[in-house]
Amino acid sequence: MEKTFEQVINKATLDLFNAYYPFYFKKYPRTKKQVYSKFYNSFYKTASLFCIRDGFDPEKFVKSQMMEEFKFPQQFCNEKAWDDYIDKLPVLGEIDPELEIVEKIVSAGLELKRYETVEKWLSIIVNQRMLEEGKMRFTPYLFAFSSTFIKYCHDNNIIVYDLPSLRDKVNALKSSKKIIAKIKEVLKDDYFTFYEDAEKELERLKIYF
């Protein structure tokens, strides 16, 4: 069934919000519900203006607006924002998704370096709360390979991060062998061996993946 114009707008509104939220959260830690409610009208107006134009991509559009400075959604819904998007589109097309993931792994590694081990990181109450509320300062690509982190999430029923999906994304990278080797080097004995005697690991850690 063909979508109505209103359905297209609603989908674009949600896509704009999902692309914008990580930028906003870094500066103003708020829940998704709070941010969505606060800026819904601006996202909807932006979607109404641009969603049927050729070349519109919500994620790239938001990135084009946030490349040079932090902006609020109220600044998106005008022709100047569209012109900026078109001007920056060639550059946005060159963004390497593999590089983005590697950068996030490095970011997590720098965070972990402050605490030495994942266990010590988890011993901090503030970090526990950020994890439970899905408000970690970094995407836990690196932590998704930690036995300690996986077991903690399972034992505490924390499902805000899809750890198997994060691992799959890393394993799918062209340079995955080098990256996994580096992750093993960082995590040492805490690296979770998924395929080496998996049933034994499953029973020992009482987790699933």
Long-range contacts of 186-195 (CB under 8 A, 24+ apart): 186/109, 186/112, 186/142, 187/118, 187/142, 187/145, 187/146, 190/117, 190/118, 190/119, 190/146, 190/147, 190/148, 191/145, 191/146, 191/147, 192/145, 192/146, 192/147, 192/150, 194/167
The region, left, alpha or beta by phi > 0 then psi within -120 to 50, assigned to residue 39 is: alpha
Is this prediction's pTM over 0.75? no
77, 114 contact by CB (below 8 A): no
Total residues found in the chain within this entry: 209
Each residue's pLDDT tens digit in the chain (209 positions)? 456 878 889 999 999 998 898 889 888 888 888 999 999 999 999 999 999 888 899 989 999 999 888 999 999 999 999 999 998 888 776 656 677 788 778 778 877 888 889 999 999 998 898 888 877 777 888 999 999 999 999 888 887 778 888 888 888 888 888 888 889 988 988 998 754 444 444 555 554 44
